[in-house]
Structure formats: C-alpha cells, structure tokens
Amino acid sequence: MSENKIDGWLFIDKPIGISSFSVIKKIRKKLNTKKIGHAGTLDPFATGVLGIAIGEATKSIDYLNDKKEYEFNITFGESKTTEDLEGETLDETNIIPNKSDIKNILKYFKGVIDQHPPKHSSIKINGQRSYNLARKDLNFETKSRKITIYEINHIKQLNNFTHKFRVKCSSGTYIRSLGRDIAIRLNSLGYISFLRRTKISKIDEKIIISLDKFLELVHIGNHFKMVVPIESVLDDIPAVYLNEENAFKFRNGQVMSIFDSASEVNSLLVLKEKEVVGLGKIVSGKLVPIRMFNI
C-alpha cells in the first residue's frame, strides 16, 4: 500500500500496557507508511482515545490537540515514583480523605492553575528528557506551567482508598500530577491507579476502534472506512471556499486580500469545492497561508 493512499485521521482505543509510540509503530508497519503521528501521548497504563494522523493529516495535528477529557482514579495513602500504579512506593500515610473532603477541595483545581509535570515525563530539562534524569535518580525539579481545568468532578468512591473522577482540561495537562496535587491538598498522598481518555476536542469514544480490530481490517483491505477525512476532524474551525484561481495562489504561498481589512482569524480551513487545500489565517483582512495539503 502506498503512503499516499491515506490522508486522514484514525482514532484508536489504545489498549493498556502498550505505549502510544508502539501503537504508531504497529500501524505504520501494517500500512507501510512513513508519514504518521498522533495528537497527545497516553501513558502505557492508560487507555482511550488516541488520535492518529496519517499522510497529509499530520499537518493538522496542532489543530486537534486541544481540549481533552479523562476519567481517572486516585488511590490515596501512598505516593509512587511515577505518580501512577506502575511506579515504586515512595512514601505512605494514614491520612485518607473521605468523599466530602475531596468534593470540598476540587474548587481549587478549576480554572487556570500552575502544575509541575511529573519527573517521569517527556519534558526536556537542559536538553535531556525528564524521565531519563529520573531513572538515574538525579535531583531536579520540573518547571511549573499554566494549564486550564474547565471542569472536574468526583464521580464515586470505589473503596476505602480509591475514588473516581472526571475532568475536562487543556492540552498539556498531566493527570498524574493532578492526582498528586489533589492528594497533597488533602494532606495525604496519592497516585493515579486508572486513566482513560474519553475525548480529544470533539472526538469521543463513539468512533474509536480497537488496535487489534483495525489491524484485522487492514489485513482484509476493509480499513478505509475507519479513516476520518481531515475536513471532518477540523469542521469546528472557520472555513473559507476559494475558486480555482485563488486556490492556486494559496497553494503557492501567496497572501491575498479577499476579506474586510478588519477581519482577524487565527485558524482557518481552506477548501476548493469539496477539496481540502490547506490551513491559513486572516491578518488585517488578508488570507495568509500556513500549511498546504498535497492531496
């Protein structure tokens, strides 16, 4: 199969126990394609929506990697090296919060907040991956960053130590760090014992497919129906339709004054009839090309 045969998005239900990169690797090999990427890494112990861009769709990754939703469990009473169930126990406490205590402090985790990413993460520190430094037991701190929690709710108590939550958050949010910080706010310790991504932008669990099922469909040549067109994934951003002449100019990187001089749009999907041409923006009424799709 030629890599030019597919230019679109695939949404996999990432299985537990495998890295996002391993999922990409399996699909790349099966499709015999080099141009492939994903919108947002999921840890090996996590499951759920993994958006995979194939072919020209890789140029649109930044436009999908926005708001995300997760379901997760926090187990209170101990901290872990990785802040999840796969790490080694660092410390323990007898202070175990109850449901009422937890609900009362969640208000402090709404809106724009500061968050320190986990030491076991892909954040770069002085040119090195944080997880590599952590594996060497080096003493360092990750730099605080601003994230947005749009909504966070306590769903239910599962047992004496574990509680279930649901969160809507900005891209770049580390749920492991969120769990750690919630526990600290409650004068306790905690780690993420379950994590599932339920939504990326507008893409939810309704259209995802298991990795094994997709690979099976590729084997019988019936996988194309699972590929979502670029324009369908990006249909929540403004779009403009160009005629043949202006589409040609756009593809050649030409800036065009085709809007009111006061118009400003940061992200714009550019089409010619039903054909996806590229991505652009409007600056002072001028259409400025950003990326072109070669489909």
What are the tokens at 290? 């950003």
What are the tokens at 148? 């947005």
What are the tokens at 81? 């090296």
> Which residue reads 């892909």 in tokens?
122
CA distance 132 to 135: 5
Q: How far apart are the first and last CA of the chain?
A: 16
Taking the alpha carbons of 97, 101, 106, 109 in that order, is the dihedral positive or negative?
Answer: negative
Q: Taking the CA atoms of the chain, what radius of gyration do you get in angstroms?
A: 22
- Tell me 142's DSSP state: P
CA distance 74 to 115: 17
Instruction: From the candidates 7, 43, 84, 181, give the one annotated as an active-site residue.
Output: 43
What are the tokens at 49? 């929506």
Burial 108-120 (b: 16+ CB within 10 A, else e): ebeeebebbbbbb
The 3 state secondary structure assigned to 31-42 is HCCCCEEEECCC
CA distance 200 to 39: 8
Sheet of 265-272: strand order equals 239-241, 265-272, 275-283, 286-292, 256-257
**CB of 13 closer than 8 Å to CB of 48:** yes
Q: Is 43 a catalytic residue?
A: yes
Catalytic positions? 43
